[in-house]
Amino acid sequence: MHGLVRLARPRQWIKNFLVFVAPAAAGVLFHSTILWHAAAAFAIFCVAATGTYYLNDSIDAAADRQHPTKRNRPVAAGVVPAPLAITIGAVLMAASIVLAVLLAGWHLGVVMGIYAAVQLAYSFGLKNEPILDLACVSAGFILRAVAGGVATSVALSNWFLIVVSFGSLLVVTGKRSGEKKLLADENTDGAAVRQTLGLYTPSFLSTVRTLSAAVTVSAYCLWAFERAGQVHPGHDPIWFQLTIIPFVIALLHVLRLLDSGAGAAPEELALKDHRLQIYGLCWVALFAIGVYVG
């Protein structure tokens, strides 16, 4: 039982908080019905993500045994039998789609179905295809944000989707850079653990990170100015524009960490990096003032 809980990776459920971003950005998160729907969507994604971890770890067990840290995962370590993990994973992924339909109709069911399809395609082959593996993992983040909008009936702006898309690509590329550094430090052949790691050069990953960060900042600036005009038409108290400052500082901080190879476990940065948490709180405070006070 302990192995099954570890296999679910509860610490990584922090990614599922992305479902709250769209209604929060729209300033309606704390409306009772919307908050309930967002919380339910969060729970549904926890079920779906757990299912994908069960399936992916079963498929990757042989490769994980060669990894300095992943070899301790329950399936790779022999704590949880692969057939059991596959069965539970398939049931959880199917259940997440059914629950999504019950919560918000077929629209959310389609989002969860696409998430499941992308994760399965990744597990069964696309994880070995350069570029496509980055796109698949990024899509998981994007679909979480989209699901939050669909579950709460909040319209998603074009700039919002671009910020989420390229921000996700930045995090995923930083994760690959961190994995390469970790394996190099352990004198482990990266290509034997993950085929694409042998195909990505540090300079290429650095270029992708720079491109992703540039687009993310540009799109966020445009979104902040657009949002200010929508919330306060004819009256611009600049609070939304001020959120650009902690956003850019936080992004530069993340870039510095990713460049040093510290991005192998991005959820650890969110949970343990106090500077990043302070920048995030500053952003939340300015954004809240813009929505509810300004």
Q: Are residues 151 and 228 located together in one domain of the fold?
A: no
Q: Are residues 38 and 141 located together in one domain of the fold?
A: yes
Tell me the pLDDT tens digit for each residue of 226-281: 877 776 666 666 888 899 999 999 999 999 998 888 877 777 888 888 999 999 99
- Residue 268: the pLDDT is 80
- Residue 63: the pLDDT is 76
Q: What is the 3-state secondary structure (H, E, C) of the chain?
A: CHHHHHHCCHHHHHHHHHHHHHHHHCCCCCCHHHHHHHHHHHHHHHHHHHHHHHHHHHHCHHHHCCCCCHHHCCCCCCCCCHHHHHHHHHHHHHHHHHHHHHHHCHHHHHHHHHHHHHHHHHHCCHHHCCCHHHHHHHHHHHHHHHHHHHHHCCCCCHHHHHHHHHHHHHHHHHHHHHHHHHHHHCCCCHHHHCHHHHCCCHHHHHHHHHHHHHHHHHHHHHHHHHHHHHHCCCCCCCHHHHCHHHHHHHHHHHHHHHHCCCCCCHHHHHHHCHHHHHHHHHHHHHHHHHHHHC
- Residue 190: the pLDDT is 58
Domain count, the chain: 2
Q: Are residues 93 and 197 located together in one domain of the fold?
A: no
Last residue of a domain, one of 156, 183, 201: 156
- Residue 91: the pLDDT is 94
What mean pLDDT value characterizes the chain? 87
Q: Are residues 142 and 176 located together in one domain of the fold?
A: no
Last residue of a domain, one of 127, 156, 185: 156
pLDDT band, residue 193 (cuts 50/70/90): low
What is the average pLDDT across 92-108? 93
Query: Does position 40 have pLDDT exceeding 80, yes or no?
Result: yes
80 Cβ neighbours under 8 A, 6+ residues apart: 3, 4, 7, 74
Q: How many CB atoms lie within 10 A of CB 255?
A: 18
Q: Are residues 239 and 258 located together in one domain of the fold?
A: yes
Tell me the pLDDT tens digit for each residue of 147-184: 999 999 988 888 889 999 999 999 999 988 888 887 77
CATH of the domain at 57: 1.10.357.140
Q: Are residues 86 and 117 located together in one domain of the fold?
A: yes
Q: Are residues 3 and 147 located together in one domain of the fold?
A: yes
- Residue 234: the pLDDT is 61
Q: Are residues 49 and 73 located together in one domain of the fold?
A: yes
Greatest mean pLDDT range, 27-31, 111-115, 128-132 = 111-115
Q: Are residues 178 and 139 located together in one domain of the fold?
A: no
Q: Are residues 144 and 221 located together in one domain of the fold?
A: no
Query: Does position 212 have pLDDT exceeding 80, yes or no?
Result: yes
What is the average pLDDT across 140-147? 93
Question: Domain range for residue 136?
Answer: 1-156
Q: Are residues 145 and 237 located together in one domain of the fold?
A: no
Q: Are residues 92 and 228 located together in one domain of the fold?
A: no
Last residue of a domain, one of 134, 156, 178: 156
